[in-house]
Amino acid sequence: MIIFEPITHKNRLIMYNWQHKNWPNFEFDYTSLEKELMLFMMKAGEINGMLSALPKHISTETIIQTIVSEAIKTSAIEGEIINRLDVMSSIKNNLGLHTDHKTKDKNAIGLSKMLIDIRNTFREELTEAKLLDWHQLLMNNNKKVKAGKWRTHKEPMRVISGSVANPKVHFEAPPSINIQKEIKQFVKWYNDCDISMPPVKAAIAHLYFESIHPFEDGNGRIGRAIAEKAFSQCLDMPVLFSISSAIEARRREYYDALQTAQRTMNISAWIKWFISITLEAQVHAEKMILFTIDKMKFFDQYENKLNERQKKVINKMMEEGPKEFIGGMNAKKYMSITGVSKATATRDLQELVQLNIFSGLGSARSTRYSLNIK
């Protein structure tokens, strides 16, 4: 597992990007990216067209699901788990939508506020104050971290893995004494940058910020927030896909690609990898839109034919969007989700099969069920 912390372990001599004489003037080759960039812009137009053609309630639901996915996956990349229902409720509250659920997880509340703020303020220039505000929202519930403050410790800030006794150093960030200078330079670069291709600016902005690593914790989540802002600004609309969902699925590659990019000023390979992740995120977004349409049609058709237990189980199975519910549904899982007896669970499941909502596979105790959403 990769963790982010200051350590005093002596590192071998490696030149990182921020130590280079040309820092932060990154080099990359646009010509090798033309095909991927054209595909990105085409996909962006298709997704926007699909969403624009949807009824208001379906497009709103799709946007909510996108933000929920981003919240859950950007946390998962850092090895943190947040409650989906708490995130969903907090996002709806921030969007002014009604929800009966009372959010208990303060981390979910802060993260949701940050993600909504990114969408609401995407046209505004990036500022140091905004970065500190995001960090305050993200880390306000973490008593071990100075929320809304740049790091100030004298020890090197290093990305490490392995044991405390024998750590492997993947990257060392600039010393804390340089942070304010580096951040000021980063913010100026971001606002003055004339790169018009969304994934290129997002890729560079994310790498640049991660290389500075200005906070004690939360740098990855803030860095991906900056990438989302860059996408939205370049497209002149809030981003309609979750970049963190695609990154989380290839988490090890993500860290490896970052590590390689942080040791050179030529970042063509990093940008190419980042664009590939972006294209995967767009494909998932298209699937999510189609899934949301099918989900709405499903409940329009069956809303009055299902009891509250059945609705709860089906909603649980739909949480991951187009992905299949892991392992399918069975009586034991049904009992766990709803708190009912085995007899009631069995009866409810049989009713769902008779309605052609569930398809059963196997027999007796080993029977598991898949959802026929279409």
Whether the per-residue pLDDT at 144 is higher than 90: the answer is no
Quick one: pLDDT at residue 5? 39
Quick one: pLDDT at residue 236? 96
Q: What is the pLDDT of residues 267-295, one digit of tens each?
A: 999 999 999 999 999 999 999 899 888 98
Q: What is the pLDDT of residues 308-327, one digit of tens each?
A: 999 999 988 888 777 767 77
Between CA 49 and CA 45 the distance in angstroms is: 6
Residues 6+ apart with CB under 8 A from 117: 133, 134, 137
User: pLDDT-derived band of residue 13, with 50, 70 and 90 as boundaries?
Assistant: low
Q: What percentage of the chain carries pLDDT values higher than 70? A: 95
Between CA 310 and CA 334 the distance in angstroms is: 9
Q: What is the mean pLDDT of residues 195-221?
A: 96
Whether the per-residue pLDDT at 148 is higher than 60: the answer is yes
- Nearest CA-CA partner of 5 in 199, 216, 182: 216
Quick one: pLDDT at residue 254? 96
Q: What percentage of the chain carries pLDDT values higher than 90? A: 71
Q: What is the pLDDT of residues 99-110, one digit of tens each?
A: 877 878 888 999
Lowest average pLDDT, out of 29-33, 61-65, 69-73, 112-116, goes to 29-33
- Nearest CA-CA partner of 16 in 229, 182, 189: 182
Between CA 176 and CA 157 the distance in angstroms is: 8
Residue with tokens 């790169």: 195
308-371: what fold? Arc Repressor Mutant, subunit A (1.10.10)
User: pLDDT-derived band of residue 14, with 50, 70 and 90 as boundaries?
Assistant: confident
Torsion 177-117-110-239 (CA) sign:
negative
Whether the per-residue pLDDT at 2 is higher than 60: the answer is no
Residues 6+ apart with CB under 8 A from 316: 325, 337
Q: What is the mean pLDDT of residues 155-174?
A: 83
Q: Which 3 state secondary structure label does DSSP give 165?
A: coil
Quick one: pLDDT at residue 362? 78
Average pLDDT, the chain: 90
E strand or H helix at 347: helix 342-354
- Nearest CA-CA partner of 118 in 138, 101, 103: 138
User: pLDDT-derived band of residue 301, with 50, 70 and 90 as boundaries?
Assistant: very high
User: Structural domain boundaries of the chain?
Assistant: 3-291, 308-371
Whether the per-residue pLDDT at 340 is higher than 90: the answer is yes
Q: What is the mean pLDDT of residues 74-82?
A: 93
Phi, psi angles (nearest 5°) of residue 154? -80, -25
Q: What is the mean pLDDT of residues 171-191?
A: 97
Quick one: pLDDT at residue 118? 97
Between CA 36 and CA 16 the distance in angstroms is: 28
Quick one: pLDDT at residue 75? 95
Torsion of Cα atoms, 205 then 208 then 213 then 215, to 10°: -30
E strand or H helix at 360: strand 358-361
Q: What is the mean pLDDT of residues 342-366?
A: 89
Whether the per-residue pLDDT at 97 is higher than 70: the answer is yes
Q: What is the pLDDT of residues 235-266, one digit of tens each?
A: 999 999 999 999 999 999 999 999 999 999 99
- Architecture in CATH of 3-291: Orthogonal Bundle (1.10)
Whether the per-residue pLDDT at 1 is higher than 70: the answer is no
Q: What is the pLDDT of residues 31-59, one digit of tens each?
A: 888 999 999 999 999 999 999 999 998 89
Quick one: pLDDT at residue 7? 37
Between CA 308 and CA 142 the distance in angstroms is: 37
Between CA 274 and CA 164 the distance in angstroms is: 31
E strand or H helix at 6: strand 3-6
